Chain A
């Protein structure tokens, strides 16, 4: 199993550009989520999904869009990039329900100039 994969690893955007961060998992996990990590801080939840066709907002959803058309994929869209969105983005997946460990991807480092 590849686990959780993310592409790209690095990306530089200009302010106002849009892009999609890709996330895929091959563990048949119902739950997937996106976090951002800023320097010296822990991860903050952006959006999450408990299954195909179902998404919901986390702590910091503004400026981001998600969709979940399949169990495997959970792309994160930046609609109009801003310098405040410069961060490292992590995708995670797990089985639905409490007490399940989350599996994290390697991250995408995004810089917005």
Chain B
């Protein structure tokens, strides 16, 4: 079953604007990760936030995690056409050291020039 649910399913904005995607999950987690997938390609890891962290930054990316609400958000600032892709959140809830990621359905982001 899909643990993560993402919102919105699709998002279309103008270049230069900020894009925000949300992810909700159901169980306690070790960490939450965000991945990007360009059309027809594999997934690329963007950022990981541990369950004891509340906010993390990486370049133009900002991720927040609220474990009380079981939700996370990914903010992409000053968007570029190259940011057009699908974005997935993935949660790791394994207790055995083997990272078994459970993915959300993804948000399809389109940046219009």
Contact = CB atoms under 8 A, between A and B. Distances in A.
B101 A98 contact: no
Given A50-B97, A98-B97, A44 B45 contact: no
Contact of A42 (B42, B45, B97, B103): B103
Interface of B: 1-2, 4, 30-31, 33, 35, 40-45, 48, 50, 88, 90, 92, 94, 97-106
Given A50-B97, A96-B97, A43 B50 contact: no
27 contacts: A4-B42, A31-B99, A33-B100, A35-B103, A40-B105, A42-B4, A42-B88, A42-B103, A43-B43, A43-B88, A92-B43, A94-B99, A96-B97, A96-B98, A96-B99, A98-B30, A98-B31, A98-B92, A98-B99, A99-B31, A101-B45, A102-B99, A102-B101, A103-B45, A104-B42, A104-B43, A104-B44
Given A42-B88, A42-B106, A101-B33, A90 B100 contact: no
Contacts of B1: 59
Contacts, number: 75
Given A42-B88, A99-B50, A48 B100 contact: yes
